[in-house]
Structure 1
Amino acid sequence: MIPVVETKTISDDVASAFEDFARAFEAFKDTNDTRLSEIETRLTSDVVTDEKLARIDTALDDAKRRLDRLSLERARPPLGGTEAPRDPAQGEHKSAFHAYVRTGEAAGLKRLEEKALSAGSGPDGGYLVPDTVEREVLRRLANVSPIRAISSVRVISGGQYKRAFSATGPATGWVGETAARPQTASPALSEMSFPAMELYAMPAATQTLLDDAVIDIESWIAEEVEAAFAEQEGAAFVNGDGVNRPKGFLATETVENEIWEWGRLGTVNTGGAAFPVESPSDVLVDLIYALKAGYRQNAAFVMNRKTQSTIRRFKDDNGQYLWAPPASIGQAATLMGFPVVEAEDMPDFALNACAVAFGDFKRGYLIVDRAGMRVLRDPYSAKPYVLFYTTKRVGGGVQDYAAIKLLKFAA
Structure 2
Amino acid sequence: MHFAAAAKAALEKRAGLINELRSVEADTTLSEAEKRERVERIDVDVRALEAEARESVERAEREAEVRSLAERAGGLVLPGPSGFRAGERDEAAELRAVARGELPGVDFDLRTATTGTAANAGNTKPVTFVAQVIEAMRERSPFLNRTRILTTGGGETMEWPVKNGRPTAAQVAENTAYGKSDGSWTKTNIGAYKYGVLLEATQEIVDDSALDILGILAQDAGEAVADKVVADLLVGDGSSKPWGWITRAAAGKTVANTAALTGDAVIDLQHSLLSPYRRNAVFMMNDSTLAVVRKLKDSTGNYLWQPSLQAGAPDMLLGTPVLTDPNVAPIGAGAKAIAYGDPSKYLTRQVKNLRVVRSDEYGFDRDVVAFKVTWRGSGDLFDTASVKTLVTTAA
Task: Give the structure-1-normalised TM-score.
Answer: 0.62
Q: Is the 8 A contact 2:136 2:223 kept in 1?
A: no
Check conservation: 2:162, 2:384, Cα contact below 8 A: no
Give the structure 2 partner of residue 368 of structure 1: 349
Does the 8 Å contact 1:146/1:234 carry over to 2? no
User: Would the alpha carbon gap of residues 214 and 170 (structure 1) be closer, same or farther in structure 2, given more than 3 Å must change?
Assistant: same
Matched residue, 1:113: none
Match of 2:259 in 1: 275
Alignment partner of 2:314: what SS? Answer: coil
Tell me, yes or no, if the aligned pair for 1:128 and 1:372 is still in contact at 8 Å.
no
2:353 alignment partner, SS class? coil
Aligned equivalent of 2:107, options 123, 129, 137: 129
Deviations 1:17-55, CA, capped at 9 Å, x for gaps: xxxxxxxxxxxxxxxxxxxxxxxxxxxxxxxxxxxxxxx
SS in 1 for 2:313: coil
Shift, 1:289, TM fit? 0.8
Shift of the 312–293 alpha-carbon distance from structure 1 to 2, 3 Å rule, reads same
Pairwise CA distance, 1:143 = 5.2
Two-structure CA RMSD over aligned residues (Å): 3.4
The question of 1:265 aligning with 2:260 is answered: no
Give % identity: 26
- Which runs of structure 2 are paired with 1:8-407 in the superposition (5 Å)? 82-84=82-84, 86-87=86-87, 98-102=96-100, 104-106=101-103, 109=104, 127-131=105-109, 136=131, 137-138=133-134, 141-142=137-138, 144-159=140-155, 160-169=157-166, 190-215=186-211, 221-252=217-248, 265-270=250-255, 272-276=256-260, 280-363=262-345, 365-382=346-363, 383-407=366-390
Query: What secondary structure sits across from 1:155 in the alignment?
Result: strand
| SS of residue paired to 1:129 | strand
C-alpha deviation, 1:99, in angstroms: 3.1
Between the aligned partners of 2:362 and 2:254, the Cα distance in structure 1 is 52
Asked whether the equivalents of residues 164 and 384 of structure 2 are also in contact (C-alpha less than 8 Å), the reply is no
Q: CA deviation at 1:326?
A: 0.6
Counterpart contact for 2:330–2:337, Cα < 8 Å = yes
DSSP 3-state at the match of 1:402: helix
Report the 3-state secondary structure (helix = DSSP H, G, I; strand = E; otherwise coil) of the residue aligned with 1:356: strand
Q: Which amino acid aligns with 1:403?
A: S
Residues 94 and 130, structure 1, Cα contact 8 Å, conserved in 2: no
Matching residue of 1:52: none
Residue 319 of structure 1 deviates from its aligned partner by 0.6
Q: C-alpha separation between the residues in 2 aligned to 1:350 and 1:316?
A: 24
Cα deviation, 1:262-315, whole Å, max 9, x if unaligned, reads xx6234110x23232xx8222111111111111112211101111111111111
Equivalent residues of 1:165, 1:189 under 8 A apart: yes
Contact 1:143 1:149 in 2 (8 A): no
What amino acid maps onto 1:100 in structure 2?
Answer: V
- Amino acid paired to 1:368: R
Show CA shifts across 1:178-213 (max 9, x none): 989969677675323322211102222110111123
Amino acid at match of 1:353: A
Superposed displacement of residue 372, structure 1: 2.5
Measure the CA separation in 1 of the matches of 2:175 and 2:135.
53
The superposition leaves residues 306-344 of structure 1 with CA deviations (integer Å, 9 ceiling, x where unpaired) of 111111111110010111211322211111221110111
Runs of 5+ consecutive residues of structure 1 not aligned to the other structure = 1-79, 110-126, 253-263
Q: In the TM superposition, what is the alpha-carbon distance from 1:245 to its structure 2 partner?
A: 3.1
Deviations 1:68-97 (CA, angstroms, capped at 9, x unpaired):
xxxxxxxxxxxx854446449x67x98675
- What whole-Å deviation, never above 9, does each CA across 1:201-246 have from its counterpart, x for those lacking one? 2222110111123456655543331111221123212222234432
Distance 1:267 1:353 in 2: 13
Tell me which amino acid in the other structure corresponds to 1:399: F
Structure 2 residue matching 1:340: 3-state secondary structure: strand
> What is the letter of the counterpart of residue 307 of structure 2?
P
Largest Rg, 1 or 2: 2
Q: How many residues align?
A: 294
Name the CA distance, whole Å, in 2 between partners of 1:185 and 1:273: 40
8 Å Cα contact 1:161/1:368 also seen in 2: no
Where does the alignment leave 5 or more consecutive residues of structure 2 unmatched? 1-79, 114-127
By how many angstroms is 1:361 displaced? Answer: 1.4
Contact 1:198–1:392 (Cα < 8 Å) also in 2: yes
SS of match in other structure, 1:164 = strand
Read off the aligned partner of 1:245 and give its amino acid letter: K
- The one-letter amino acid paired with 2:107 is V
Distance 2:200 2:330 in 1: 34
**Contact 1:134 1:373 (C-alpha < 8 Å) held by counterparts:** no
